[in-house]
Amino acid sequence: MNQKTKFIMIAICGGISFFFILFFKSTVEQLFFLFGLCDKNVMVGYMSSFGAFRSLISIFLTVFQSVVIPFPDYLMTLANSQFFGPVAGAALSWIGQMAGAALCFALTRFLGRPLVKIVFRSFAGKLRVNFYSPFLPGAVFIARLIPFIPFDLVSYFAGFTPMGFRGFMLATGLGQLPLVIYYSFSGQVFEGPDKVVIFVTLVLTSLSFYVLKRFSAAKQISKL
């Protein structure tokens, strides 16, 4: 696919997105308003209005939160936990965040990176070389463990790198588990000395699984 074709595809996708947002303008504005309140009770009330479809709406809202940068990452996790219970809420939050991360990664990989290459052709090659590292999935994994690093920024940035989709999703799935579990079962934002102990325990457990998986993979490669 040549550069001109890629540019046309980007323009078409951009146009479709524009008309989609325009068509659902009132819904989008309502969601921005609701999320802007940063109140889990408001989100619980909104989900409850959809009756039998509340689980699907929960996932959709979590994806929306993951894709749009300004909103707090924990809001829907807390709302899901309160509305569905800690176990079901954690599962829905994890699924929604995984879907949101995949969407952010795909948007950057298939729309953002080609656009950068078209506009900054001389710089694009250097950008790819400088970003290349076999430890990129590990960097994503660690970033997911840190509460104050925005979830969606990591996903968007990862799409600009040569990291594989499988490695990105694995690092995301494991790395986000401690915070999802913590928020779902505590029902509170990360703070306080007692909560630090719980969070660190979850982080070390998740980190252990990731290290063991990487070690196992490296051992299998060495046997070839």
pLDDT of residue 43: 93
Q: For position 198, what pLDDT does the model report? A: 56
Task: Specify whether the CB–CB gap between 77 and 44 falls below 8 A.
Answer: no
Return the sign of the alpha-carbon dihedral for residues 110, 173, 163, 150: positive
Torsion of CA 28, 30, 34, 35, to 10 degrees: 10
Structure tokens at 155: 């996903």
The amino acid present at 126, given as its one-letter code, is K
State if pTM tops 0.85: no
Q: pLDDT value at position 129?
A: 41
**Whole-number pLDDT of residue 108:** 84
pLDDT profile of the chain (224 residues), mean per 10: 59 62 74 88 93 91 84 88 93 94 86 57 47 72 81 86 88 89 79 56 61 56 50
Alpha-carbon radius of gyration of the chain = 19
pLDDT on residue 23: 59
Who contacts 153 (Cβ-Cβ below 8 Å, separation ≥6)? 69
The whole-angstrom separation of Cα 155 and Cα 144 is: 10
Where is 202: in which H helix or E strand? helix 193-223
Q: Which residues contact 184 (CB under 8 A, 6 or more apart)?
A: 77, 80, 81, 86, 87, 89, 90, 93
For residue 163, the tally of other CB atoms under 10 A from its CB is 22
pLDDT on residue 127: 47
| pLDDT for res 163 | 86
Q: Quote the CA–CA distance of 139 and 36 in Å, as a whole number.
A: 30
